[in-house]
A and B are shown apart, each in its own frame.
Chain A
Amino acid sequence: MEVIAKTNADMLIAGGRNQYTALKARIPFLDINQERHHPYAGYVGMVEMAKELDGALHSPIWEQVRSPAPWQSALAENGPTLRLGECLGERSETAQPTKVVARRKSVAVNPLKQSQPLGAALAYLGIKGMMPLMHGSQGCTAFAKVMLVRHFRDAIPISTPAMSEVPTILGGVYNIETALLTLLEKSNPAIVGLCTTGLTETCGDDMHGILKELRDRNPKIAALPIAYASTPDFKGALQDGYAAAVEAVVRDIPGNTTNHQFGNSADVFYSYAVPGLPSQVTVLAGPSLAPGDVQAVKDMVKAFGLNPVVLPDLSASLDGHLIDQNYSGNTSGGTPLSQIKALNTSAFTFAIGHSMKLSAEILQQRFGTEFNLFDDLTGLEAVDSFLQTLCEVSARPVPEKFRQQRRQLQDAILDAHFFFNRKRVALALEPDLLHSVAWWLAAMGAEVHIAVTTTKSAVMKELPVDKVPIGDLEDFEELAQGADLLISNSSAKSLARRLGVPLYRMGFPVFDRLGNGHRCIVGYSGTKQLLFDIGNIFMEADETQAHEQVHTWRESL
């Protein structure tokens, strides 16, 4: 080690037992002894070795493991807080924005996207005492429900006004009224999350008009908080619907006591809210976050002594828990209505996922709450900047727990980077999640082979890949040829089998894996877990591939 320091060497090439000595010193390393998996002999081997050397030396991970945490550099240099290495540099210097290509086809084959109302229902399900009401025919609700049930393996409350032919033509006001009254009688929800579908958007129900008419006509309905989002099936995708529902909630529910919906009765809710506490902050949890992710975010915020109101809080409703009380037809957990009503008293908004931007802006406009938008929460830099903001908002130091987790992540990055180097990964995910995963992979030295997404989004213009088609799984199958790994939802299972490429399941729906309610890929710990999960897939494939490679050398004799 002293020699390396003295000679200012770039790299150590040695046997496996010295590997971790080098890595702990944050020095690139190449294994040339007994335990290695890569063949370096002969002319062909030279190429292999050159590739490995190049990869080891130029992996983007070195900047990450060498860079101090922003709060440390702030203390040391008292200068600019974020000095994030090569990756951030690359990202801001990306000369060409990623081209978003809408594929013009007459037929979608094996659709990747889910429609907006499903996303809206998912967001609504993160609110306590909620009953989502999907304004369409029975099937709209039944299909969405089945998808959610299969993904979360939990009972999912969603209801339907069961539109049939006549109301479709004459208007759905009677069906919505009956549905609301039936719900009040049967499960008495604290709040109803209303969203439209392709059917009712096409027949043109004037939802604002209908709601006004019903509120004027029936005091019971007037007293019921209703958030309403317009989510036609024929536009956008799941994450747009999710975002629309969160926008509807922050627009229709909090603060405003003169709101025509509630009259004066709203004040009642403030008695057990926590208004005015300076420590209250709003966390807008975007569609890329699974319940386990939301829990991790909540834990991070709380660790700084802040009191987060998380909207929507899937970690309390779809985290797969048994309930002690009697069965309720509505959501058993989630953001309490009282907290949503008190969102105006939050000191700051953390918006996680780009699709939460508009909701954060609505809160800013309505209540003057400043916000920070975090596109990603996976990967060292992303978490660094989140914790740094928490640090500044709370005026508290970063807890030791996270400092240790950061060191663990850096170590994990070092251990894992051998397996990510030069790997081509094909992604088919919704924009928010795609952005997180793509940049995280790039930061690990892997290559985004192709990326397919479901809907337009500003963040799709800044991906570590030239173009991103908005397409289906047929496109994905065509473009993913030659990839080392696929990352998509469970629907990609059969195409992965056809391509002979491993599939790591992410996004929605994942119906052939347990534990979707607890999956976590955010924060230092979550990132570390993702690193191990995917690193293990690569490690296994590496050995097989290296063996196959030398056998082809042998056979070419």
Chain B
Amino acid sequence: MKLSAGKINELLTQPGCEHNDKKKEKGKNKACQQTAQPGAAQGGCAFDGASIALVPITDVAHLVHGPVACSGNSWGSRGSLSSGPMIYKMGFTTDLSENDIIFGGEKKLYKAIHDVKERYGPAAVFVYLTCVTALIGDDIDAVCQAASEKFDIPVVPVTSPGFVGSKNLGNRIGGEALLEYVVGTREPKETTPYDINLIGEYNIAGEMWGVLPLLEKVGIRVLSKITGDARYHDVACAHRAKLNVMICSKALINMAHKMEERYGIPYIEESIYGVEDVNRLLRNIAAKLGDADLQARVEDLIKAETAKLDQALAPYRKRLTGKRIVLYTGGVKSWSIVSAANDLGINVVATSSKKSTEEDKARIRKLLGEDGIMMEKGNAKK
């Protein structure tokens, strides 16, 4: 994947993201383009973001091309769970030495792909470009292509040197790699009118498994999870879904947007936290798939589940009502957790909005009410 200035700009100015939708009045904010302030920046880099978005694909070997820090300080530490393959939890890195940096790391990378394939037999190898290998000019696209042909295995280059930007940009770079090299390269065995993709849900702590059974019960099939507990093959078939459901706000908006453009798959944006939001998720999917029977089944399910839930939550509601909390998080969580807290009768007195989009902020305002404090920027001290 060639990462040019134009490409980065395109990723930062997604039409679906109202940070940059300049036609609208609120769109003057350019949050996506803001660069981190030296000395104050706290977040991760683009490589971190790309890893977050892609590492949950469980049967893929994630090979980090760079010095040991990038992989050594992050491998195996992310909380996304797998229902099967565990290879995604392993740390593969070319662990470049000084000599490699002087003489170039391409040959080492080529051999590394070979060794990983031989020893661990992954469904595919994802190769991550990092700051140092970008700087010394290793052409990972060429190496990946050569290795892919020679070793007969999909090898996906992910152009994610940390210095190109924030974690958020990294997420989108990850999405871009999937769009360019994976999605649409294979065909599913069968399709149904109820096929959807979940985008931006990484199955952290296995929480996706709290939602999937609900979808299954009403007859919605998740064709491809992008990328929590995903398999390479399923992601490759994602273009055959009827609907994309974005879970984590705008992190992978480029995927939803481009899949709409390329394959005509509409997308909706939902949250899976809180009673109201889960209800809305189910209703909106059913409505978008446009099947009256399905909608009826969803209503029945919601009725049954919420009745059970009210009973289960009753003792907690009694103890939690009126408690005051401060939220310090980013993006979609800044409002989705507010909604979950409100469901429990907890007052959210303040929340941060530093990585939130204008749309996120509007939702926060609605949920927080008049007295809520919204922290634009912040640090631990504040």
Contact = CB atoms under 8 A, between A and B. Distances in A.
A143 B70 contact: yes
Interface stretch (B157-165, B274-282, B340-348): B157-165
A114 B97 contact: no
A109 B69 contact: no
24 contacts: A106-B112, A109-B90, A109-B91, A109-B119, A109-B120, A111-B91, A133-B39, A137-B45, A137-B162, A138-B166, A142-B43, A142-B45, A143-B69, A155-B380, A160-B41, A161-B39, A162-B35, A164-B35, A182-B37, A182-B38, A186-B40, A198-B66, A199-B132, A234-B96
Nearest to A184: B39
A248 interface: no
B306 interface: no
Contact of A183 (B39, B68, B75, B112): B39
Interface stretch (A29-37, A74-82, A144-152): A144-152
B324 interface: no
A550 interface: no
Interface string A175-204: 110111111001100000000011100110
A489 to B, nearest CB: 11
Interface of A: 105-111, 113-115, 117-118, 133, 136-140, 142-144, 146-147, 150, 155, 159-165, 168, 174-176, 178-183, 186-187, 197-199, 202-203, 232-235, 237, 327, 329, 472, 491, 494, 511
Given A138-B162, A138-B166, A179-B38, A199 B71 contact: no
Given A163-B163, A164-B164, A198-B132, A146 B77 contact: yes
A110 B90 contact: yes
A108 B93 contact: yes
A248 B380 CA distance: 29
Interface in B79-138: 86, 89-98, 100-101, 108-109, 111-112, 114-116, 119-120, 131-132, 135-136
Contact of A142 (B35, B44, B76): B44
B71 A111 contact: yes
Q: 9 closest Cβ contacts across the A-B interface?
A: A139-B45, A182-B39, A179-B39, A106-B111, A107-B112, A233-B67, A137-B162, A143-B73, A115-B69
B48 interface: yes
A19 B305 CA distance: 65
Nearest to A177: B38
Contacts of B116: 107, 109
Contacts of B335: none
A186 B39 contact: yes
Contact of A117 (B38, B69, B381): B69
A198 B92 contact: no
B311 interface: no
Contact of A138 (B41, B101, B112): B41
Given A137-B131, A143-B74, A147-B73, A160 B38 contact: yes
B142 interface: no
A540 B381 CA distance: 48
B43 A106 contact: no
Contacts of B165: 164
B380 A327 contact: yes
B107 to A, nearest CB: 8
Contacts of B68: 108, 111, 113-115, 233-234, 237
Interface in B307-325: none
Contact of B92 (A107, A136, A147): A107
A140 B45 contact: yes
A430 to B, nearest CB: 13
A165 B164 CA distance: 6
A167 to B, nearest CB: 8
A491 B73 CA distance: 11
A136 to B, nearest CB: 7
A38 B196 CA distance: 62
B45 A109 contact: no
Contact of A234 (B37, B109, B120, B132): B132
Contact of B95 (A111, A182, A232): A111
Contacts of A186: 39-40, 379, 381
Contacts of A181: 39
Contacts of A179: 38-39
Contacts of B193: none
B63 A107 contact: yes
A295 B94 CA distance: 39
B131 A198 contact: yes
Contact of B44 (A110, A114, A143, A174): A143
Given A114-B73, A138-B45, A327-B381, 14 more contacts: A106-B115, A107-B94, A107-B112, A133-B39, A143-B74, A146-B77, A161-B39, A162-B37, A162-B39, A178-B38, A182-B40, A233-B69, A233-B70, A472-B95
User: Which one of A108, A110, A147, A174 has the highest number of Cβ atoms from chain B below 10 Å of its Cβ?
Assistant: A108
B47 interface: yes
B36 A162 contact: yes
Nearest to A160: B41
Nearest to B99: A234
B48 A139 contact: yes
A158 to B, nearest CB: 10
